[in-house]
Amino acid sequence: MRPDVEATVNRILVEEFELEPARVTAEAHLVDDLELDSLDAVDLIAALEDAFGGRVDEEEARKVRTVSDVYALIGSAIERAVQTGRAPAPRASEALEAGE
């Protein structure tokens, strides 16, 4: 996975859910380790879609359990956007270029 995607996902988790950055690791379980609930999951998906300028596949999103799974989910969404010729929204491009 691209480091810029990982950094952006981590930043979203830290900022949206007021998590300590040290807790947000690839292996961290969203429910057990980060204590996110189903409403948080909806907020996370919305924040990810805003940041990356694309749509997340609902079926894939239901399978997400760890932060690493979130990285893969976003990677899939970006890959679909590239394959269909739909570029990410400017905001997402700016976030990725800035390394956020």
Active site residue 57: no
For residues 25 and 67, is the Cβ–Cβ distance under 8 A?
A: yes
Question: Which of these ranges, 11-20, 49-58, 88-97, has the smallest mean pLDDT?
Answer: 88-97
Per-residue pLDDT, 86? 64
Is 80 within the bounds of a domain?
A: yes
Structure confidence at residue 56 (pLDDT): 86
The answer to whether position 73 is within a domain reads yes
44: tokens are 């996370």
Kindly report, residue by residue over 25-77, the tens digit of the pLDDT.
Answer: 999 999 999 999 999 999 999 999 999 887 888 889 999 999 999 999 998 88
Within-domain flag for 67? yes
Domain holding 90, by residue range, is 3-95
* CATH number of the CATH domain containing 68: 1.10.1200.10
The pLDDT, as a whole number, for residue 40 is 96
Global pTM? 0.80
Residue 55 lies in a domain: yes
| pLDDT value at residue 35 | 98
Domain count, the chain: 1
Tell me what pLDDT residue 1 has.
59
Q: Is residue 87 part of a domain?
A: yes
The one catalytic residue in 32, 33, 37, 57 is 37
Higher pLDDT, 93 or 58: 58
